[in-house]
Amino acid sequence: MSRWSQNLTLILLGGAVVWISAFTTSYLNYVKAGFQPFLIAAGVIVAALGVLGLVRRPAAHEHAPRVAWLMTLPVFAIVLIAPPALGSFAASRSQRPPEPPANAEYDPISAAGGPADMKIAEFLARAFGDKKKSLTGKSVRLTGFVTPSKKKGQWYVTRMSIACCAADGYALQVAVLGAPAPKADSWVEVTGTWVPPKWKKLPSGMVFAEIAAAHVQPIKPPSEPYE
């Protein structure tokens, strides 16, 4: 690969990173929002290195083969065909047993003003780790994408959780009862009430908190898909 094509690729790659990080929300499909400044800085540095390489070694001194243009295709793919956020396929392969927080305290859930909007992570924490069972009888609204279940009569409302990037993502899932399953990977708001488990002690292995659905509303995917 010629120096000319190397530097051109650096410029295009750096520009693509700056574009998706500064002018779109596509970067949220890969990393947490707090990484935006670092992505922009990295893109600027990479593009600057490419420009510096062209200035120090002008393209006229070196003829780039036509095939070198193929190196730009992945860059255009990043901008024009950005991969989506992790969905039901990843969720079905990245499940974790619940880990109730020790000695956690939870604020009461207000019943005024309709259902309480709640993150799936909080719903799971209350379901498995709240000795006061504050979810009992309270109407809550969960937002996530649809993941099919192998168990008849239920499906999962899911949100992926990431520590820094999509590579370390794992699924937060609540089993939805009493409502037909929408299309897999479609985004929904599920309003309903917690179904208390029949067991007294959390069993080992995979178990799921359950919600009896009163209403399921299709929505557009949020700009920030992860919790």
Whether residue 70 is contained in a domain is answered as yes
HSE, side-chain direction, 13 A CA sphere, residue 6: 10
Confidence of residue 21 (pLDDT cuts 50, 70, 90): confident
pLDDT of residue 68: 53
pLDDT of residue 62: 54
The per-residue pLDDT for range 181-208, each reduced to its tens digit, is 999 999 999 999 999 988 777 777 788 9
214, 143: one domain: yes
pLDDT of residue 103: 65
110, 206: one domain: yes
Residues in the chain: 227
**At a CB cut-off of 8 Å and minimum separation 6, what does 151 contact?**
175
The per-residue pLDDT of the chain, averaged, comes to 83
Whether 27 has a pLDDT exceeding 80, the answer reads no
**Strand 154-161 relative to strand 170-177: parallel, antiparallel, unpaired?**
antiparallel
Q: What is the C-alpha separation between 33 and 222, in angstroms, rounded?
A: 13
Q: Per-residue pLDDT averaged across 47-55, rounded?
A: 84
pLDDT of residue 6: 75
76, 94: one domain: no
User: Poorest-confidence range of 17-26, 138-147, 192-201, 205-214?
Assistant: 17-26
131, 111: one domain: yes
78, 138: one domain: no
Read off φ and ψ for residue 108, nearest 5 degrees.
Answer: -60, 150
Whether residue 17 is contained in a domain is answered as yes
Which segments of 57-130 does DSSP mark as H helices, in order? 73-80, 88-91, 120-129
Q: Which domain, by its residues, includes 108?
A: 90-219
7, 114: one domain: no
Whether residue 226 is contained in a domain is answered as no
The per-residue pLDDT for range 97-114, each reduced to its tens digit, is 777 676 677 888 876 778
Domain harbouring 171, CATH code: 2.40.50.200
Q: Domains in the chain: how many in total?
A: 2
- Among candidate residues 21, 51, 83, the one where a domain is terminated: 83
Q: Per-residue pLDDT averaged across 22-27, rounded?
A: 79
Q: Is 189 exposed, middle or buried (0-12, 13-18, 19+ CB in 10 A)?
A: middle
The answer to whether the beta carbons of residues 139 and 116 sit under 8 Å apart is: yes
Whether residue 125 is contained in a domain is answered as yes
The first and second tokens of residue 70, run together, are: 């193929």
Confidence of residue 70 (pLDDT cuts 50, 70, 90): low
